[in-house]
Amino acid sequence: MKKTLLSLVAILALACYSNAQTNLLTNGTFDGIEGPLAGRTTNEWGIWSGNGSTATVIDGVVNIIPVASGDRWQFQLEQQLFVVENGKTYTVSFNAWADVDRVITISLEDLQNGNTRLGTTSDPGNEEGRSTWNVDITTVQTKYQRTLVVDTIRANTVTKLVFMAAQTADMVYIDSVSLVEGTNVSVRDNKANALKLYPNPAVNDLYISGKSTLSKVEIYNVVGSRVREYRNVLQSINVSELKSGVYMIRLTDSHGQSFTSKFMKK
């Protein structure tokens, strides 16, 4: 059923968007590879596990069964050998959810050169401004996206996109992974048209127009740490206790669609 629906969506998308961005990854929908995932092979999806964690593709969705470890990298869902270039901007998007609210980590790195991160980023959850992000996922299937500017490609680079999930033993589900050049302008513009933030700068209340209810609103500081979270937001959030400065805000609606923007607290 999922494959049929995806085919119809793909046909409609091609008819409506002739300039659609190209996915630089192989088989981001995981179709045609049902069953347990084996170790990584060239540019196909695979896993690496140091503690017995496993992953199985069921109906085109990766079901990760992690074994808890103090080291998140003890389980890795990954793909290698995609092509990116220095000086260009890229966006990685994916759908993720879990049996309970938890954190996963996604990273774009150079396997050949000490897992050096491929680029710079200011998106929430980044580590030291580089292309590794800690992402808070929930029990609701949600689309996430992170953007980077590539700056470390060398002659011998082996590119790698990896999801790490051994922080806890709670199951994780991954689907619809893409890596495209640019910033997914069409997606962000649509969301920007639907959601407006005001006043900006804000002193006490930050108002959100364009949606009747948001399931979750998260605020991150400039180093990517989450400082506030609000649930079931109707019209506004109170930001009076935040220190003055610039913040990233991520708004997630009842359909699991997310929009990230910036605002200033005066």
Q: What is the pLDDT of residues 198-227, one digit of tens each?
A: 898 999 999 988 656 788 899 988 777 889
Pairing assessment for the beta strands 205-209 and 236-238 based on DSSP bridges: antiparallel
Tens of pLDDT, residue by residue over 48-98, are 999 999 999 999 999 999 999 888 999 999 999 999 999 999 999 999 999
Provide the 3-class DSSP secondary structure of residue 251: strand
Q: Cβ(48)–Cβ(77) under 8 Å?
A: no
Q: What is the pLDDT of residue 223?
A: 73
Residue 246 has pLDDT above 90, yes or no: no
Tens of pLDDT, residue by residue over 107-128, are 999 999 999 999 999 888 999 9
Q: What is the pLDDT of residue 84?
A: 96
**CA gap 176, 211 in Å, rounded:** 25
Which sequence spans correspond to the domains of the chain? 21-183, 186-265
* DSSP for residue 9: H
Hunting for tokens 């890596």 — which residue is that? 179
pTM: 0.66
Provide the 3-class DSSP secondary structure of residue 163: strand
**Assigned fold of 21-183:** Jelly Rolls (2.60.120)
Hunting for tokens 């922080």 — which residue is that? 167
- Token couple for 90: 């890229």
Q: Which of 137, 145, 55, 63 is nearest to 102 (CA)?
A: 137
Q: Cβ(175)–Cβ(55) under 8 Å?
A: no
List residues bridging with 80 in a β-sheet. 160
Q: Tell me: cis bond preceding 124? Omega within 30 of 0 counts.
A: no
Q: What's the CA angle centered on 118, arms 122 and 106, to 5 degrees?
A: 65
How many residues would you count in the chain? 266
* DSSP for residue 14: H
Residue 17 has pLDDT above 80, yes or no: no
Task: Choose the CATH number for 186-265 among 1.10.260.40, 3.30.450.20, 2.60.40.3080, 2.60.40.10.
Answer: 2.60.40.3080
**CA gap 94, 145 in Å, rounded:** 6
Q: Per-residue DSSP letters for 76-134?
A: EEEEE-----TT-EEEEEEEEEESSSEEEEEEEEETTTTTEE-EE--STTEETTEEEEE
Q: Which has the higher per-residue pLDDT, 102 or 18?
A: 102
pLDDT band (50, 70, 90) for residue 144: very high
Tens of pLDDT, residue by residue over 228-239, are 999 998 889 999
Phi, psi (degrees; rounded to nearest 5) at 10: -65, -40
21-183 and 186-265 have identical folds: no
Percentage of residues in the chain with pLDDT exceeding 90? Answer: 62
Provide the 3-class DSSP secondary structure of residue 187: helix
pLDDT band (50, 70, 90) for residue 190: very low
pLDDT band (50, 70, 90) for residue 18: very low
